[in-house]
Amino acid sequence: MSQKMAEIVAVFATLIGIGATIFLPFVYQSRHLFRDSDIQVINLTGVNSAGTWTEEEVNGWNYWRRDFAAARPVLNVGRTARFRLKSADVIHTFYAPALGVGPVQVYPGHVVEFEVRPAQRGVFQYYCTTVCGMPHFGMRGEIVVQREGEAVTTGSLPTSGKYWLEPPPPANANLVERGQWLFHQKGCFTCHGPEGRGGVSNWNYVKGTVPALNALAERLMLFDREDVKVIVEQMESGKNLNSLVASPPVARFNVFLAQYRSVRDLIRKGSTPGKKDPHGPVPPLEMPTWDQRLSEVEIDAVIAYLLTLQP
């Protein structure tokens, strides 16, 4: 090959290299953009002050509004959805076990992304599983998966955790009234149901739903309304029930006392729900520890309230 020909080949090679440098990234980006054009993007922000995950924009100007709408994303079967999670305040954990998502920890100032491609239609619950403050138990919602063009189903969950903002009970409220207020204000009803009636589903929990509490009196061996009244009056008076062993106020008092101590310990220390499928996801709803959030008197107030719910 002559020197002249070699120079021409070198020039062409250089031009081809420059063209590849310019053109190939464009091709890659075009393919990337084309691929992403069919991806649905869901932006969620965890807001502790409102007790919710929301799709609304949250910033320093509106953070304290406390009226952000709870997110209820609607996805399509077979279409990829990219979730972009942020926290407006503290550490939150996003968990949607029925969709195989999480738990995903979300730190303030960071964005966490993951993708979901749902294969079947339905309504799937999501949760915050880090106790992030007073309205934590309201940070739950639903993800709707449907076929494209279907009508969106209506929701069945509370729209926010603002229940904790309700005014305190009257100063002259009795023990049962204070217990009723605490049961609502602390968010106990979000897991155990209104008035402790239960029925709240807990994914992969061995019992299926969170236990009801409106039959607590029977579990504590109080089968008569009069017995419940006597025990509540003793608690209202401020007496230590352990001191009544010598002269028991009701029949089977020793059995009741053992069960009562067990319930108090459960409230103080919390418990982890058993898994129906040992290899499946952790049930999202668990009993947290309340020993730093409720005083001994407040625990008794909640128990007294639950005892009065016995049918």
pLDDT per position as a tens digit, 148-194: 777 776 656 554 566 777 788 878 899 999 999 999 888 898 889 88
Q: Are residues 24 and 109 in the same domain?
A: no
Question: For the segment 236-282, what is each residue's pLDDT rounded down to a tens digit?
Answer: 988 888 888 888 888 888 999 999 999 999 999 999 999 999 999 89
**Same domain membership, residue 96 and residue 46:** yes
The torsion of the CA quartet 296, 300, 302, 304, rounded to 10 degrees, works out to -170
CATH number for the domain that contains residue 96: 2.60.40.420
Asked if residues 53 and 93 have their Cβ atoms less than 8 Å apart, the reply is: no
Residue 65 scores a pLDDT above 80: no
pLDDT band at 4 (very low <50, low <70, confident <90, very high): low
Q: Please identify, among 134, 161, 188, the residue that sits at the C-terminal boundary of a domain.
A: 161
Task: Dump the DSSP string for 24-52.
Answer: HHHHHHHHHHHHHTT-EEEEEEEETTTTE
Q: What is the pLDDT of residue 36?
A: 56
User: For the chain, what is the domain count?
Assistant: 3
Do 203 and 157 fall within a single domain?
no
230: left (phi over 0), alpha (psi -120 to 50) or beta: alpha
One domain, residues 193 and 112: no
Least confident of 18-32, 135-149, 171-185: 18-32
Same-domain check for residues 205 and 293: yes
- 102 and 142 share one domain: yes
Nearest to 44 by CA among 124, 117, 104, 130: 104
Instruction: Give the Cα separation of 21 and 227 in Å (integer).
Output: 85
Q: Are residues 178 and 291 in the same domain?
A: yes
216 Cβ contact partners less than 8 Å away, ≥ 6 residues apart: 196, 263, 303, 306, 307, 309, 310
Residues 33 and 46 in one domain: no
Q: Does 287 share its domain with 229? A: yes
Instruction: Look over the chain and give the mean of its residue pLDDT values, rounded to a whole number.
Output: 82
| pLDDT (0 to 100) of residue 100 | 87
Domain boundary among 111, 133, 161: 161
Tens digit of pLDDT for each residue in 286-306?
A: 998 998 889 999 999 999 999
Bridging pattern class, strands 74-76 and 140-146: parallel
What is residue 13's three-state secondary structure?
helix
Residue 113, domain extent: 40-161
Enumerate residues 6+ apart whose C-beta is below 8 A from 103: 93, 94, 95, 129, 282
Whole-angstrom distance, CA of residue 245 vs CA of residue 237 = 16
Last residue of a domain, one of 132, 161, 190: 161
**What beta strand segments (E) does the chain contain?**
40-47, 52-54, 74-76, 81-87, 92-96, 101-106, 112-116, 122-128, 140-146
Q: What is the pLDDT of residue 302?
A: 95
The verdict on whether omega for the bond into residue 118 sits within 30 degrees of 0, i.e. cis, is: no
Judgement on whether residues 174 and 257 belong to the same structural domain of the protein: yes
Instruction: Say if CB 90 and CB 45 are below 8 A apart.
Output: no
**Rounded CA gap, 259 and 276, in Å?**
26
Least confident of 9-18, 144-153, 202-211: 9-18
Answer yes or no: do 62 and 29 share one domain.
Answer: no
- Is the model's pLDDT at 19 over the cut of 50? no
66 pLDDT above the threshold of 60:
yes
Is there a single domain that holds both residue 64 and residue 76? yes
Percentage above 90 pLDDT, the chain: 37
33 pLDDT tier (thresholds 50, 70, 90): very low
The closest of 133, 156, 161, 131 to 68, measured between CA atoms, is 161
Q: How many CB atoms lie within 10 A of CB 147?
A: 9
- How many other C-beta atoms lie within 10 A of the C-beta of residue 77? 15
Rounded to whole angstroms, the Cα distance separating 102 from 96 reads: 6
